[in-house]
Amino acid sequence: MDRAETIELLCAEAWRPVTEEPLGDWRLRAASGFTGRANSALAIGDPGVPLPEAIDRVCDFSHAHGIPPVVQAISGSETERAIEAAGWLPDTGHAAGHLVAVLVGPLGRGGDGVSFLPEPSAGWWELVAGTAEPTPAQRHVLTTGEIGHGVAEITAGAVRTAVVGELLHISRLAVRPEHRRRGLARALMAGAGSWAAGRGATECVLQVAVGNSPALALYETLGFREHHRYRYWVPAWKDRSL
Ligand SMILES: CC(C)(COP(=O)(O)OP(=O)(O)OC[C@H]1O[C@@H](n2cnc3c(N)ncnc32)[C@H](O)[C@@H]1OP(=O)(O)O)[C@@H](O)C(=O)NCCC(=O)NCCS
């Protein structure tokens, strides 16, 4: 297994779907449609059956769980080439961006004005999920595991943190538009590093859509570099509404 695959498996541990079934080494995942990662088959390793059968199984699983069939594959991998050869297409309709950069970087330190809540607050939910009243699937995906609920300035900004292996997984970093460019994201990243250092993390990982220029600029200033990319794939015949 190469490092990109190892990182993907660790990131998957930080982002638990409601339902997961193994298909050989692959993971079939569903969470009522909340997020691409939790509602796609993670195609890492050997599915244990020929690829045409594997993608049929992805479709069957997706239909059984009421979500469109989607495969998440590392860009440029042999698996991605095989999926493309089978007639699948990049999921250009994926709202958050179908091509995602996985960045690694140093743990931050400090984080003035940032605190980690014992329980997620309404303000934290609003920032990380866009609602103060999360659905059961949102609650499951975003709070399963030992999760940090970081907030800056009483929720002008928020972040979700998890430690997987030696990696701090950062997700849902968000700052309210009227509070941007005041260093709050930088502070949240620093606070996240401090939160994780006591939990065994030595490095930080996060996923960002390749078109998200503000976030990419932020992470570059913090010393992150792109490790690899992944992409979401859908069958050419797929109807997004099922
Ligand atoms: C990305 C985001 C979290 C940045 O929050 P922020 O509090 O405004 O960021 P900071 O003020 O800490 O910025 C730190 C540095 O990052 C860079 N940066 C941040 N936003 C930028 C932008 N819009 N354009 C260019 N550079 C930017 C700058 O170098 C900035 O330093 P400077 O202001 O001294 O030039 C915010 O824009 C946001 O909430 N976006 C929507 C959610 C999102 O995309 N989250 C990331 C998901 S991976």
pLDDT computed for residue 11 by the predictor: 98
Ligand 1 atom closest to Cα of residue 176: 39
| Ligand 1 atom nearest residue 172's Cα | 47
Ligand 1 centroid distance, CA of 14 (Å): 23
Give residue 153's pLDDT: 87
Tokens for 109?
Answer: 């330190």
- In the chain, the percentage of residues whose pLDDT exceeds 70 is 98
pLDDT for 237: 74
Give residue 154's pLDDT. 85
Query: What phi and psi, each to the nearest 5 degrees, are found at residue 23?
Result: -130, 90
What DSSP line would sit under the chain, residue for residue?
A: --HHHHHHHHHHHTS--SEEEEETTEEEEESTT--SGGGSEE--S--SS-HHHHHHHHHHHHHHTTS---EEEETT-HHHHHHHHTTEEE-TT-TT-SEEEEEEEPPP---TTEEEESS--HHHHHHHHS-SS--HHHHHHHHSSSEEEEEETTTTEEEEEEEETTEEEEEEEEE-GGGTTSSHHHHHHHHHHHHHHTTT--EEEEEEETT-HHHHHHHHHTT-EEEEEEEEEEETT--TT-
The confidence score (pLDDT) of residue 13 equals: 97
70 exposure class (CB count in 10 Å sphere: 0-12, 13-18, 19+): buried
Residues 74-88 have a mean pLDDT of 96
Compute the distance from residue 165 Cα to the ligand 1 centre, in Å.
27
What is the percent of the chain where pLDDT is above 90? 93
In tens, the pLDDT along 13-33 reads: 999 999 999 999 999 999 999
Ligand 1 atom with least separation from CA of 207: 48
Mean pLDDT of the chain: 96
For atom 12 of ligand 1, which residue has the closest CA?
183
Residue 204 scores a pLDDT above 70: yes
Contact at 8 Å (CB) between 8 and 74?
A: yes
pTM passes above 0.85:
yes
Rounded to the nearest angstrom, the distance between the alpha carbon of 172 and the centre of ligand 1 is 13
Question: What is the distance in A from the centroid of ligand 1 to the CA of 147?
Answer: 23
> Atom 42, ligand 1: which residue's CA is nearest?
174
Pocket of ligand 1, beta carbon within 6 A: 157, 173-175, 180-186, 208, 212, 214-215, 217-218, 221
Q: What is the mean pLDDT of residues 111-140?
A: 96
175, 182, 224: residue to mutate for ligand 1 pocket, most atoms within 8 A of CB: 175
Residue-wise pLDDT tens digits, 132-149 = 999 999 999 999 999 999
Do residues 188 and 215 lie in contact, with contact meaning Cβ atoms separated by under 8 Å? no
Closest residue CA from atom 25 of ligand 1: 214
Question: Which of ligand 1's atoms lies nearest the C-alpha of 188?
Answer: 12
**Given this model, what pLDDT does residue 242 score?**
44
241 band by pLDDT with thresholds 50, 70 and 90: very low
- How confident is the model over 49-67, as a mean pLDDT? 97
Given a cut of 60, is residue 180 above it in pLDDT?
A: yes
